Amino acid sequence: MTAPEERSIDSAAQQMIDRAQQDEIGLAWDRYEEMQPQCGFGQLGICCRICHMGPCRIDPFGHGSQEGVCGADANSIAARNLVRMIAAGAAAHSDHGRDVALTMLEAARNPDSGYQIRDPQKLRVIAEEYGVATDGQSVTKMAEAVAEKALAEFGQQEGELRFPLRAPAVRVKLWRDQGIMPRGIDREIVQIMHQTHMGVDADYRNILRQGLRCALADGWGGSMIATDLQDVLFGSPQPIRSKTNLGVLKEDHVNIVVHGHEPALSEMIVEAARDSELVAQAKELGAAGINLAGQCCTGNELLMREGIPSAGSFLHQELAIMTGATDAMVVDVQCIMPQLAHLSERFHTKLLTTSSKAKMPGVEHLEFHEDQALEIARQIVSVGVENFANRDGQRVQIPDEEMDLIAGFTAEYVYTLLGGRFRPSYRPLNDAIMAGRLRGVAGVVGCENPQIPQGYGHITMAKELIKNDVLVLVTGCSALADARAGLLQPEAALEMAGDGLKEVCEAIGMPPVLHVGSCVDNSRILIACAEMVAEGGLGEDISDLPVAGAAPEWMSEKAISIGYYVVASGVYTVFGTPQNVLGAPQLHKLVVDELEEMVGARFDFEADPVKAAHMMIRHMDNKRKALGLDEMMYEQALPVAAG
Amino acid sequence: MSKEVAAAAVRGSHDVVSRVEQRLQDAMAEFGEEQKVGFPQTAFYLPMACALLGEEVETLGQMQPVLEQTKSLLHEEPSEKLWLPYLSSALDSGIATLLAQEMLAALRYLYEEEPQDGWHGFISDTILRSLGIQLVDGRLPGFAAVIGAAPDVETAEYIIRELQKRSLLTFLIGNHEGQTMRDQLIEAHVLPDDILENPASGWDTYIVPIGPDTESIIYVLNWAMRGALTFGGLEKGDWKGCLDYTRAHIFAFGLGLGTIDDLKFASGAGAITMGAPVICDTEIPEIRPTGVCTYEALVRELDHDRIVQTCVDVRGVKVTVREVDVPVPVAPAFEGETVRRPDMHVEFGGKYSTAFEYVTMRDMDEVEDGKVEVIGPDIDTVEEGGAMPLGIYLEVAGRKMQKDFESLLERRIHSTANYAHGIFHMGQRDMAWVRVSKDAFAAGWRLRHFGDVIIAELKDEMGVIIDKVQAIITTDQNKIDELLPEAQAAYHERDERIGEMTDESVDIFYSCSLCQSYAPDHICIISPERLGLCGAYNWLDGKAAYEISPHGANQPVEKGRCIDATIGEWEKINDFVRRESHGTVDRVSLYSIMDSPMTSCGCFECILAMLPEANGFMIVNREYTGMTPLGMEFSTLAGTVGGGHQTPGFLGVGRRYVISRKFITGDGGLPRLVWMPNELKQDLAEGLQERAKELDTPDLPAQIATEQDAEAINDLVEHLQKVSHPALEMEALL
């Protein structure tokens, strides 16, 4: 059994892991170790269970079978598996987006829904983009029309999605020329399922091409709809103070942890947790009040918009229950470990599933419906409050670890951030890059994975990047990991950033690592890239920008979809552990090399976060050189290569 | 670090906003909300509020919404730890401060507390317009707003000389612990004592004392902002356009001397939001990343020897420092200097002696470049305060030189001699009048230096057309008597030739797009009989400028087929204007106010405007501050013309166009002119008489009314009837 320090670099996590070891409770890390050795065929991507002639597998050493029963070779098998991951990831994000659009429709049509349009300005902008009449229209009329337009994009069969047109013109043309401009969100996902059905597409390149189109339908489609409509419904984030880590759970409060990915319910829980009756009830039971904390991306959504503290990231979900202080854990969709059902039974924690799409055997299900949102939220909070009475004070052990942070940055807010109300502009950002104060901008995103000590990849990479004057944008679990390390504090710029980045952060008053939201909010990074191109001076296309992406601790299919839409948008991206393509040499070459020619960007796989950071920086250096930008203004920890 | 700057700006904005709130409340209680407020001679109400918010404030009550918007820009101070982004707060605070200072200034005007004694206060629109041409042709490359005071008088003088050397217009604002830069400069004799009686005289030497408190900076900034509205042609309330314009086109910077307190930081934040960086001589935190300003926003420079150069670098002002080997500094900033009798060592011309200047063209081998021959006694031979005769006789040669350019070069003697600090020059030809100050004499100025400085400047500005210049500078009466008749014969011949030159006699007109740096869609067409609206460029100037710089702002434009000779419309002129105005102007006439008139940038000398009741036009020059029969002062009227827009019924013109044979021939010509300010009428008297004779209406000059005859339209019509002005009998204008 590996030591807690090898499992997570977070001291709070280590304390809970240590407790679990003492109590002989199995956590994700233990299950991971028990799983060793993991299936090599699966890892290499060359196991096919698509039809019942199989399962088939290709011998990676060339001695045994090189074809499946149907004759599919390693490249087509791995490609099919890979794009099915894209389809699943795109489906997850996009179904989330669909639900947001449906919530908005409810908000527009039902005055008693409890939802309201909190950002009418952004609604107007989107309405104009969709060609919806805005003059003299009421906010609810506009919202209804926008929701209908957004919903239509899912089932659209022909033409093009609307939001990809936000990309630079050169990029849009490239997508059209390459035949990867998405037509409809659902259509691209469905086509992958068809195309990879037994006996359909055997050309790994053609398969991957559809994978790119589907990924774009996620990033510039489903995810972007999710982000934008959530901003309209729940308010566009602005910089806000909060805290993170298990220490945000309070011993003397009713602790309700919301976990998963969608804010529609949890925004209502925020309101319910302030309900005076429920608070009074909590106090009657001896609690000082009701403490709401988020986890994973539901947590990020609430953190960004409401400043609700986050009790941690993906691998903290079990640990929150391990504190013995979580009275209720409310889950919606995605990244929820089924193990929670068993673990919660060993503590007093009441686990509640809320989505009709995500249930667990034996777990109480309180299903969320948009039209009764607030009432359901009250019931949920009430379950938590009542369960406070069952808490065993003896078993409460909350690590004394919490970290202050600033969250709430968006692509739109950059305008205000850099110019206030009267000089809104991306100019200072572009200028900083052009003048060599900033070497570039990196998006470090993605999951956590017991294969890597929790947070090590994200934090080490972010530190290496900011040390070299790279501004870092983070989302999802990556953001929460960096937050635990204090990187989301403005002071971090003074202590850890290179001189150029430090100067920029000092001038603006911002942290060197900017939290831009949940994992659907990676769409914000795409928009920021498009804005940088539009501002001018950094080339004509996103692929000209000195920017790079990374997913150092990735694990989910959503991460794959994100990776592919980022690369298809022209951003070089480094994954920590390799994607499941190493058993398919030609596909591998396509992914890490030939994609460059096709879409102007490619992947690399590098598990060492420092090396990976250096690869990203070198890429930025190359782009800087191609743009003829000034040399770096200050001495660099990783010097710019000569010539 | 910059957080301290942001914190100070936030505090400063809160302070000034709360002060204006209190004062406004008091004023409302005292005068009521209908009370008029505003600044003198501007068409832009409270210009900052007008440009940024689109508000047209004329009364106390109308200030209220501006105050509310100002308050919405106030922020909390950034916290000690875990601060939220503060650059945006600081910039918002800056705008809030500008808006608040402007209201405060307007209230001070209401209470007659402004302008303060010995200070200039608000800067009128007219001053902006009259400086226009200098802004665009590079003579005035930028503005310095000096806030505070230098540590001592010597440093004050040093800094101001460095600014003058670079021709930067300098405003003196505020104080450092009660000490003002104005008083330091008076003590150093840089500013004359009587600057206190007439602060506006500072414009002549590029040093204008604006006000003794930090709030006075608003006068400079709301003046700069009007550049966007007048020259930029931007709409009121187009805050983004206006702020982009000031950053791109107004080369201003702040120079903070001495302690920078909260209000100075807040004002600085306002300047920065307009794109003007601030440079300070104290240990302030710096804001070096660019983007809000073109280059760094806030910079410290502790070394006074370097501080002006640092300012110029940080703002990116393009300046050329003239290095001429004479004993006094040389710069356009000294052009407006006068040398008064008590300060004078010697004078030439005027009432006391003969003085003339003459430029003639020679073959290349006849001229020895740079040679200065002094004939006669030098100025150390006269008693202080005495007079001597003077001849300045220049011979020039150049492959591109033409006979026509002689007069052009000769006219340059006036400004080039004036550029020398301590030298005063007026008039031209054989009516020149020159003085040398005691200071210049003491510094070593002698006769040959006239030659040196004129040759150097002429070659610097006209080097493309002249390769060689030699000069004779003489005080010898015999030599003068020998040279003068040749010069006088040439003057006469030139006048004859110019008089014969008509728009029909040439195939090519010249364009002028100098002002496009300020008014991007405006284009001037200059013909022999219609000079540029700024009055500074005639057809010959355009021709010479094209020779000097073939890809410059003055291009030859073929007339092409004449479409209408009466209104002055030609096919190829239209094509050219359409292209150069970026499609905003389709047709242009040279001689009509009513039918597709030429556009204006904003720096016109005069405005012609239709008076329907009088069936004619009035003309008003920008120096005239009184009321016109149109019911508007020049400054208000000017607000409706300019910015490159075509506005039938209104036309910006140079004053000498009035006596051109092509004066609004499309609308009936000179007999349509019914009103003009007396000063203008006197100035043009001779020409008017001549034109009236040619038109066979010798009484016309007397029939044209001035403000002495009528100021209101009804009185004017009555007057015109009384004197039987011909316009009344002409075809109806409308």
Q: B153-184, pLDDT tens digit by residue?
A: 999 999 999 999 888 999 999 999 999 999 99
Tokens of A373: 């949102």
The reported pLDDT for the residue numbered A532 is 98
Q: Which of B411, B419, B475 is nearest to B446 (CA)?
A: B475
SS3 A404: strand
CATH of B332-493, one of 3.30.1650.10, 1.10.3720.10, 3.40.50.740, 3.40.50.1820: 3.30.1650.10
Handedness of CA A176, A180, A184, A185 (dihedral sign): negative
Which strand (E) or helix (H) includes residue A43? helix A40-44
Domains in chain A: ranges and CATH: 4-57 (no CATH), 74-234 (1.20.1270.30), 240-395 (3.40.50.2030), 409-627 (3.40.50.2030)
Q: Does A492 touch chain B (CB under 8 A)?
A: no
Res. B89: pLDDT tops 60:
yes
Q: Which residues contact A61 (CB under 8 A, 6 or more apart)?
A: none
The reported pLDDT for the residue numbered B412 is 83
Tokens of A553: 């601790």
Residues of chain A short of pLDDT 50, as ranges, are none
Mean pLDDT of all residues belonging to chain B? 91
What is the tens place of the pLDDT at every residue in B366-388? 999 989 999 999 999 999 999 99
Res. B718: pLDDT tops 70:
yes
Tokens of B359: 């430029």
Q: What fold does the segment set B508-729 form as a domain?
A: 3.40.1470
- How far away is chain B from the Cα of A415, in angstroms, using its nearest Cα? 9
Handedness of CA A307, A309, A312, A314 (dihedral sign): negative
Cβ atoms of A555 and A448 within 8 Å: the answer is: yes
Cβ atoms of A509 and A404 within 8 Å: the answer is: no
- What are the chain A neighbours of B81 within 8 Å (beta carbons)? 404, 491
Q: Which of A561, A569, A618, A307 is nearest to A447 (CA)?
A: A561
d(Cα B723, Cα B135) in Å, to the nearest integer? 43
d(Cα B668, Cα A485) in Å, to the nearest integer? 82
For the entire predicted model, the pTM comes to 0.84
- What are the chain A neighbours of B273 within 8 Å (beta carbons)? 420, 422-423
- How far away is chain A from the Cα of B311, in angstroms, using its nearest Cα? 19
Neighbouring C-beta atoms of residue A536, cutoff 10 Å: 12
Q: Which residues contact A38 (CB under 8 A, 6 or more apart)?
A: none
What percent of chain B has a predicted confidence (pLDDT) above 70? 99
Question: Is the preceding peptide bond at A309 cis, omega within 30 degrees of 0?
Answer: no
Maximum distance among all Cα pairs of chain B, rounded to whole angstroms: 85
Residue of B nearest to A438 (CA): B289
d(Cα B646, Cα B644) in Å, to the nearest integer? 7
The reported pLDDT for the residue numbered B671 is 95
Tokens of B614: 């009088």
The reported pLDDT for the residue numbered B138 is 67
d(Cα A300, Cα A408) in Å, to the nearest integer? 9
d(Cα B165, Cα B142) in Å, to the nearest integer? 12
- What are the chain A neighbours of B83 within 8 Å (beta carbons)? 490, 509
Q: Is A432 exposed, middle or buried (0-12, 13-18, 19+ CB in 10 A)?
A: buried
How far, CA to CA in Å, does B563 sit from each of B83, B557, B574?
Answer: 68, 16, 10
Local structure of residue B36 (DSSP, 8 states): B
Cβ atoms of A264 and A373 within 8 Å: the answer is: yes
What is the tens place of the pLDDT at every residue in B215-246? 999 999 999 999 888 888 888 999 999 999 99
B398 versus A230: the higher-pLDDT residue is A230
Q: Which of A46, A177, A89, A50 is nearest to A588 (CA)?
A: A46
d(Cα A1, Cα B178) in Å, to the nearest integer? 76
The reported pLDDT for the residue numbered B582 is 85
pLDDT bracket for residue B499 (50, 70, 90): confident
Res. B321: pLDDT tops 80:
no
Cβ atoms of B222 and B350 within 8 Å: the answer is: no
The reported pLDDT for the residue numbered B497 is 75
- Please indicate whether, in this complex, the C-beta atoms of A509 and B92 are within 8 angstroms of each other: no
The reported pLDDT for the residue numbered B636 is 83
Handedness of CA A207, A213, A214, A219 (dihedral sign): positive
Q: Which of B226, B255, B353 is nearest to B639 (CA)?
A: B226
Q: How many CA atoms lie within 13 A of A553 on its CB side?
A: 31
**What is the 3 state secondary structure string of B635-698?**
HHHHCCCCCCCCCCCEEEECHHHHHCCCCCHHHCCHHHEEECCHHHHHHCHHHHHHHHHHCCCC
CATH of B125-315, one of 3.30.43.10, 3.40.50.2030, 1.20.120.420, 3.40.50.2300: 3.40.50.2030
Q: Considering CB atoms only, which of A422, A494, A507 is closest to B87?
A: A507
The reported pLDDT for the residue numbered B1 is 54
- Please indicate whether, in this complex, the C-beta atoms of B287 and A507 are within 8 angstroms of each other: yes
- Please indicate whether, in this complex, the C-beta atoms of B78 and A428 are within 8 angstroms of each other: no
- Please indicate whether, in this complex, the C-beta atoms of A503 and B290 are within 8 angstroms of each other: no
pLDDT bracket for residue B131 (50, 70, 90): confident
d(Cα B157, Cα A165) in Å, to the nearest integer? 59
d(Cα B38, Cα B608) in Å, to the nearest integer? 26
Top CATH class, B2-110: mainly alpha
Q: Considering CB atoms only, which of A427, A489, A506 is closest to B291?
A: A427
- How far away is chain A from the Cα of B297, in angstroms, using its nearest Cα? 10
The reported pLDDT for the residue numbered A643 is 59
Tokens 């022209």 belong to residue:
A570
Average pLDDT over residues B548-575: 91
Q: Which of A311, A515, A512, A273 is nearest to A403 (CA)?
A: A311
Cβ atoms of A444 and A609 within 8 Å: the answer is: no
The reported pLDDT for the residue numbered B3 is 94
Domain map of chain B by residue range? 2-110, 125-315, 332-493, 508-729
What percent of chain B has a predicted confidence (pLDDT) above 90? 69
The reported pLDDT for the residue numbered B545 is 83
Tokens 């405005």 belong to residue:
B607
Q: Considering CB atoms only, which of A420, A431, A510 is closest to B290?
A: A431
Q: Is A157 exposed, middle or buried (0-12, 13-18, 19+ CB in 10 A)?
A: exposed
Handedness of CA A215, A218, A223, A229 (dihedral sign): positive
- How far away is chain B from the Cα of A243, in angstroms, using its nearest Cα? 11
First to last CA, chain B: 65
Q: Is B453 exposed, middle or buried (0-12, 13-18, 19+ CB in 10 A)?
A: buried
Average pLDDT over residues B348-377: 91
- Please indicate whether, in this complex, the C-beta atoms of A418 and B89 are within 8 angstroms of each other: no
d(Cα B672, Cα B668) in Å, to the nearest integer? 6
pLDDT bracket for residue B149 (50, 70, 90): very high
Q: Which residues contact A502 (CB under 8 A, 6 or more apart)?
A: A493, A494, A512
Neighbouring C-beta atoms of residue A450, cutoff 10 Å: 20
Local structure of residue B79 (DSSP, 8 states): P
The reported pLDDT for the residue numbered B136 is 67
pLDDT bracket for residue B635 (50, 70, 90): confident
